[in-house]
Amino acid sequence: MKSFGEILANLRKERNMSQRELAEELNLSHSAIGMYENDNRKPNYEILELIADYFNVDMNYLHGKTSVRNSIKFMSEKNQTDTPKIVKGINLSEAQFALYSKTDDLTDEELEDVANYINFLKSKRDK
């Protein structure tokens, strides 16, 4: 699992920015960015939110809890149990939605285990 500092440095480098440029964009000191990236200092919640908003990523991604940069937002109409659930414009059955909504906080390794189990179930069906 990557540290916050590694993730911040990667996000910054993806935009071809220097630490100084990022600091100016976020109205922070250059030294603060350096300390964050070296994991010598942890930002407070407000600064984490600022960084997440700037890079358009979720807090869980910044904390290294997931490799998914943005959580998929689930939408459904209130009090409409027969309304299909929508994930990124794709209608899901109730069972698919229930399964998918339980995976949002799994690690990459756990998601791989889920995928392997699904493949196992499918292989049993194909016999």
- Shared domain for 83 and 118, answered yes or no, is yes
Residue 41 lies in a domain: yes
- Shared domain for 47 and 17, answered yes or no, is yes
Domain of residue 12, residue span: 4-62
Label residue 11 by pLDDT band (50, 70, 90).
very high
Residue 13 lies in a domain: yes
Residue 43 lies in a domain: yes
Structure confidence by residue, pLDDT tens digits, 71-123: 643 333 333 444 445 555 555 566 676 777 777 777 878 888 888 888 888 88
Global pTM?
A: 0.57
Q: What pLDDT score was predicted for residue 60?
A: 85
Q: What pLDDT score was predicted for residue 116?
A: 83
The DSSP call for residue 11 is: H
- Shared domain for 51 and 87, answered yes or no, is no
Q: What pLDDT score was predicted for residue 72?
A: 47
Domain count, the chain: 2
- Shared domain for 9 and 58, answered yes or no, is yes
- Shared domain for 11 and 46, answered yes or no, is yes
Residue 67 lies in a domain: no
pLDDT for residue 15 is more than 80? yes
Angle between helices 4-14 and 45-55 (to 10 degrees): 30
Angle at the Cα of 57 from the Cα atoms of 73 and 20, rounded to 5 degrees: 165
